[in-house]
Amino acid sequence: MNARDAIIGRIRANRGGKAGDPASIAAAAKALLSKPESGRPRIDAGEPGAIFAAHLVSPKVGASIDEIAGLEDVPQAVRRYLDAQGLDAGIAVQPDPALLRLDWTSFDLLPRIEADAIVGVGKALWGIAETGTLVFHSGPASPTLFSFLPLHHLVVIERTRILSYLEDYALLVQDGAPPRNVNFITGASGTTDIEGTLVKGAHGPRFLHVIIVGPGSDRSNDGKRNDRTD
Amino acid sequence: MSLKAIDSFETRVEKALANPTLKIAIERTTSTARMKRAAAVAAWPDFATARDLARQIKDHVIENLDHYLIEFEKNAAASGAKVHWAATADEACKITVAICQAAKAKSVTRSKSMLGEEIGLPHALDEAGITRVETDLAEHIVQLAGDRPSHIIWPALHRTREEVADLFRAHHHRPQNSDDIASMVASARRELRQRFLDADVGISGANFLIADTGSVCVVTNEGNAELTTTLPRIHIVTAGIEKLVPSLQHTMVLLRLLVRSATGADLTQYTTFHCGPKRPGDRDGPEEFHIVLVDNGRTRMLEQGLAEMLRCLRCGACMNHCVVYRQIGGHAYGGTYPGPMGAVLTPVLDGLKETRDLPHACTLNGNCQEVCPVDIPLPTLLRGWREKSWREGLEPQTVRVALGLWAFGARHPFLYRIGTAIAVRVLRRFAQNGWITSLPLTKGWTKYRDFPKPAARTFMEELRRQESREREQGTKP
């Protein structure tokens, strides 16, 4: 008998020899999801973008943020970051049509992401407020390495694409075929492998800077920004 | 892989206890881990409810493991992955090495996987003459030092920063100038970057196998897994068959509990879902994507009443909170998995006869089950191994005689009371200043600990005295 049949056979033998009924297994699996709130912490009331931003800058995630009105302001925000960090580097821009369309004339644009890249500018597909997570789907316009090779990872995210909970993302994609890679990114690369001390920039980026695009809701931005810094 | 340990458990423990820096090193990492986990749990008032749901999800999968394995296989194959099955550790290594050899791979990068350690993959790759590069910082340290992981989340926690600094100076091409931890991490980054680019094959483990999409979820904080799995031409996943989950939605609940229990974060920095090889138009990603599903004792655990252990998410909380692990560290356990979960798993993997000491190295204080994100009854499972060891006659003769004697006494209360009455009077003769520091036949105990001097009378004698006194005073009928 091959290993596959042996493994399946042993599992079934232990349960009385029969395969389970797929319909009742599916029903049981679905029942486990009937109360999503029992499997997650409640996030604060308010606009997801504000909660997302607060999570990003919390010590747990340790990213920095910039908030701008429209996509056309992205190059300016990138310039602001480079100046603040004293970086005089070329930048590699993810081949996302929305990013490539912007006016990058004052930058030294690199044709692709190299192993020693200093600055990479990418665009996340979704944001998740609950954890301050950026979601990327790999594809021709979104190579995976953009998120892992540069030392400074700058990410553009549209405020309207910020979801509340991890499950909201799962529900959104459940009917489509997944891409080769889905990357959830929650902060810069870090390690606590030497004496439990946190050091950033282990193998991936040392800095994560998130540029949130789109008008925020004044009501939820008002004084609530840092409520959730844990 | 099991480490056919040369030393006995006792010798390993003595060695660990005699190491002057080990306990400091263990405390530095585990105390931070305990603190961060506690804060994360406190920040989620309904943590217990979620924990219960996570347990139910895992139990549902274990109950229907055949169904989910077949569903996963079908969907993974549809995504272009090649699925392999291995009944034993040896088979799993052979499959993995054969894929590397078919690709004429010279160099392989690995991101940390406990299953890889369990099946002895590092050794198998070395034997096959394939250059193996461990990319997780801790595994890199372990590889340079030529030793073994001592914790499932922080494999190098037994090394102090000074030791790591020496290792890097001896092995790195451009080592750190100063011995602060940030400079050491930067040195490892410089050293490993080119190795990522040079590798022909990348090997990772899996935290979750998602049945309804055939995706593989891997979590890391360093980003080494993504460089390992994206740059080389071939990506191989080795995963235990218990890693199945029905869907992405179920995965989210387990992710929350796994990460909080391991490091106290809400999510790891990188949570990646792999689904098949490079697609048309992709600028990066592996051309071949293999998944090796490994049994290696897991179906035997179902048969032996250890199904609850298959819930384990490998978070490491049980060892961080174990009073025994914190004293002796991971190496003393002698298996791939240390701490409470290791003491349950190692007898499955290496046989109870060789490992019967492990279930005994437990105070049954219950801390491990309390912090377990899927409520595995670790103390109960450990007691189960003790009973099995007794039934199979693996306990030493002295233990059997002593327990037999006690059992006789327990069945004959009158003789038992006479025995204890004599014993306390004899014991008192060995006491000095209220303590007994040495006793015949109990060197094993008194070598490290003193006995308090027993009271002058046994509990029963004292009770009788009190009762008769009360009767005389008429306070009690």
pLDDT in tens, chain B (477 residues): 444 556 899 999 999 999 989 999 999 999 999 999 999 999 999 999 999 999 999 999 999 999 999 999 999 999 999 999 999 999 999 999 999 999 999 999 999 999 999 999 999 999 999 999 999 999 999 999 999 999 999 999 999 999 999 999 999 999 999 889 999 999 999 999 999 999 999 999 999 999 999 999 999 999 999 999 999 999 999 999 999 999 999 999 999 999 999 999 999 999 999 999 999 999 999 999 999 999 999 999 999 999 999 999 999 999 999 999 999 999 999 999 999 999 999 999 999 999 999 999 999 999 999 999 999 999 999 999 999 999 999 999 988 998 899 999 999 999 999 999 999 999 999 898 899 988 887 777 788 788 889 998 999 999 999 999 999 887 655
| C-alpha–C-alpha distance, residues B448 and B438, integer Å | 10
**Strand partners for A156:** A123, A211
Whether residue A34 lies within 8 A of chain B, CB to CB, comes out as no
Residue B475: per-residue pLDDT: 62
Closest by Cβ to B272, choosing from A3, A60, A182: A182
Whether residue A100 lies within 8 A of chain B, CB to CB, comes out as no
Whether residue A116 lies within 8 A of chain B, CB to CB, comes out as yes
Tens-digit pLDDT profile for residues A164-189: 999 999 999 999 999 999 999 999 99
For B163, the token pair is 């030791």
Domain boundaries, chain B: 10-299, 397-473
Residue B399: per-residue pLDDT: 87
Nearest CA-CA distance, residue B12 and chain A, Å = 23
In Å, what is the CA distance from B185 to each residue of A78, A207, B177, B199? Answer: 27, 15, 12, 21
- Which chain B residue's Cα is nearest to A169? B249
The number of C-beta contacts closer than 8 angstroms across A and B is 276
Average pLDDT estimate for A200-212: 96
- Which chain A residue's Cα is nearest to B186? A202
Pairwise CB contact (< 8 Å): A140 & B185: no
| B248 vs A contacts (CB less than 8 Å) | 170, 173-174
Residue B1: per-residue pLDDT: 42
Pairwise CB contact (< 8 Å): B222 & A191: yes
For B112, the token pair is 């940390």
Q: What is the pTM of this model?
A: 0.93
CATH T-level assignment (fold) for domain A45-221 = Rossmann fold (3.40.50)
CATH T-level assignment (fold) for domain B10-299 = Rossmann fold (3.40.50)
Interface of B with A in 81-120 (CB under 8 A): 85-87, 91
Which ranges of A15-67 does DSSP label H, i.e. alpha helix?
22-31, 48-57
Tens-digit pLDDT profile for residues A38-67: 999 999 888 999 999 999 999 999 999 999
Tens-digit pLDDT profile for residues A88-134: 879 999 999 999 999 999 999 998 899 999 999 999 999 999 999 99
Pairwise CB contact (< 8 Å): A7 & B215: no
Whether residue A38 lies within 8 A of chain B, CB to CB, comes out as yes
- Which chain A residue's Cα is nearest to B24? A195
Pairwise CB contact (< 8 Å): B274 & A181: yes
A145 close to B242: Cβ distance less than 8 angstroms: no
Whether residue A27 lies within 8 A of chain B, CB to CB, comes out as no
Look at strands B201-204 and B215-220 and give their pairing.
Answer: unpaired
| B192 vs A contacts (CB less than 8 Å) | 203
B181 close to B87: Cβ distance less than 8 angstroms: no
pLDDT at A221 over 60: no
Residue B438: per-residue pLDDT: 85
Pairwise CB contact (< 8 Å): B161 & A4: no
Nearest CA-CA distance, residue B242 and chain A, Å = 11
For B234, the token pair is 């071939």
For A113, the token pair is 């992401």
| B221 vs A contacts (CB less than 8 Å) | 189-192, 202
Residue B2: per-residue pLDDT: 45
The CA angle B125-B130-B134, to the nearest 5 degrees, is 70
Torsion B415-B418-B424-B429 (CA) sign: negative
For B298, the token pair is 């897991």
Interface of A with B in 163-182 (CB under 8 A): 165-167, 170-171, 173-174, 177-182
Whether residue A50 lies within 8 A of chain B, CB to CB, comes out as no
A75 close to A104: Cβ distance less than 8 angstroms: yes
In Å, what is the CA distance from B96 to each residue of B105, B110, B222, B240? Answer: 11, 12, 24, 14
Q: What is the ipTM of this complex?
A: 0.94
Domain boundaries, chain A: 1-34, 45-221
Q: Coil, helix or strand for B18?
A: helix
- Spatial CA neighbour of B119 closest among B87, B156, B150, B146: B87
Residue A225: per-residue pLDDT: 39
Residue B69: per-residue pLDDT: 98
B239 close to B272: Cβ distance less than 8 angstroms: no
Nearest CA-CA distance, residue B11 and chain A, Å = 26
Pairwise CB contact (< 8 Å): A180 & B285: yes
Residue B450: per-residue pLDDT: 87
Residue A217: pLDDT band (50, 70, 90) is low
The torsion defined by the Cα of B189, B191, B195 and B196, in degrees rounded to 10, comes to 0
10 Å CB burial of residue A76 (0-12, 13-18, 19+) is middle
Pairwise CB contact (< 8 Å): A191 & B64: no
| A174 vs B contacts (CB less than 8 Å) | 247-249
